Amino acid sequence: MNILDAYTPDTTFQSFQNIYLVFELMDQRDLRHFHFHNWNKICHHQNGAPLIADIMLQLFSAIAYLHQPKLRLIHRDIKPDNIFIKQAGEGDCIVKLGDLGHARQIPPKEGQPMTMNITTCQYRAPEVMKNELYSMPIDIWSAGCVLAEILVPPNLQKPLDNALFNSDDPKIVSQMHCQLTAQTITTKFTNNRLPQWKNVEKWGEYFRYILENTLKLDPSERLKAAKIIELNPFEMLDMEKYKFQPVTDVYEEKAENFRVDWRMKIYDKLKDFNQKRMEEIQRRQNENNLQN
């Protein structure tokens, strides 16, 4: 999501601790809210399946952006509440992955452990549950859970009850992970359990393929986000929409100065935002003065 403004009330670099971020408004809020209020659109005979595919491909495009070799960022909290939606014209929506509060870059040396206390239980990958080393495939697992959830009707009373792994208890969720096989995915999402879309056979087959290949217990077997986009399954969707400009500039972190460096960079950015805000206020005042 675009950051429109950023502000700190702290006046010196030494005391700098707090940041307020202003994001663009996503008028359909988040995917949980969207799913809940637009189930009729998702069920629509003609447009429902392409809508889900579009939302998922935009999500995978955002994940591919974070996972690209020059960034190597893991989001670590992908869930419907952190996927934001904005209406863009008739029946078209813009999907953005937000809330990067748990995101981090993969450590440069392979095998370095990262914190295990991440991802909301329902969307947490098996390797995290088992306290094993983890990497980018945890985001793919969470995205698979998101797809499974939006293929079925929302639960008005208890929204998380309709998650594929619908428990707050990591032990129960772990058991559910072990019970999940390609066969259970096929049974849970047979064509007659999906909304009755036009070409439900074709769409059902595609969505089951994505579920089976994102919800793999072994992280190395999970599809990569970029690969899912490359598959180009829907000739009817404009694949240009899911392409992005790869990052060219890499931030080389130096371990000893890492925190100071970042604080300084962020503090400098905040000064830029401040400057822009002041200029805008001045411009508006001048405009008002001219009008009066």
Which residues are designated catalytic?
Answer: 77
User: Which residues ranging from 33 to 72 are in contact with ligand ATP (CB under 6 A)?
Assistant: 33
Given candidates 58, 61, 82, 213, which one binds ligand ATP under the rule CB under 6 A? Answer: 82
CB-side neighbour CA atoms (13 Å) of 225? 29
CB 38 within 8 A of CB 203: no
Alpha-carbon distance of 100 to 76, in angstroms, equals 8
Q: Is 23 in the site for ligand ATP (CB under 6 A)?
A: yes
Q: Assess 99 for contact with Mg ion (CB under 5 A).
A: yes
29 binds ligand ATP (CB under 6 A): yes
Report phi then psi at 41, rounded to 5. Answer: -70, -40
* Residue 142 interacts with which of Mg ion, ligand ATP, none, CB < 5 to 8 Å by class: none
How many chain residues touch ligand ATP (CB under 6 A)? 13
Choose the binding region for ligand ATP from 10-18, 22-30, 206-214, 227-235 (rule: CB under 6 A): 22-30
Torsion angles phi and psi, residue 95, rounded to 5: -110, 130
In whole angstroms, give the CA distance from residue 271 to residue 4.
14
* Residue where the block lists tokens 């909301």: 120
Distance from the Cα of residue 113 to its chain's centroid? 23
Q: Does 142 bind Mg ion (CB under 5 A)?
A: no
Whole-number Cα distances in Å, 280 to 270, 277, 285, 289: 15, 5, 9, 14
- Which of the choices ligand ATP, Mg ion, none does residue 30 contact, using the CB cut-off of 5 to 8 A by kind? ligand ATP
Q: Which of 82, 162, 213, 214 binds Mg ion (CB under 5 A)?
A: 82
Closer residue to ligand ATP, CB minimum distance, 17 or 292: 17
Q: Is 25 an interacting residue with respect to ligand ATP (CB under 6 A)?
A: yes
The two three-digit tokens of residue 156, written as one number: 């008005």
- The kind and range of the H/E element at 104 are strand 104-105
d(CA 196, CA 199): 9
Distances (CA, A) of 47 to 5, 52, 241, 267: 36, 9, 17, 46
**Candidates 78-86, 157-165, 261-269, 277-285; binding stretch for Mg ion (CB under 5 A):** 78-86
Alpha helices in 83-195 (DSSP H): 126-129, 137-150, 170-179, 182-188
Binding to Mg ion (CB under 5 A): which residues in 179-218? none
Q: Decide: 71 and 64 in contact? Cβ < 8 Å.
A: no
Q: How far is the CB of 17 from Mg ion (least distance, A)?
A: 21
Of the candidate residues 5, 10, 99, 253, the single one contacting ligand ATP (CB under 6 A): 99
In the set 84, 123, 134, 197, which binds ligand ATP (CB under 6 A)? 84
Work out what residue 170 binds among Mg ion, ligand ATP, none; the CB cut-off runs from 5 to 8 Å by kind.
none
Radius of gyration of the chain (CA): 21
For residue 5, state whether it binds ligand ATP (rule: CB under 6 A).
no
Only one residue has tokens 């690969």, namely 227
Between 22 and 260, name the residue whose CB sits nearer to ligand ATP.
22
Residues at the site binding Mg ion, with contacts judged by CB under 5 A: 82, 99
Query: Where on the chain is the footprint of ligand ATP (CB under 6 A)?
Result: 1, 23, 25-26, 29-30, 33, 81-82, 84, 98-99, 101
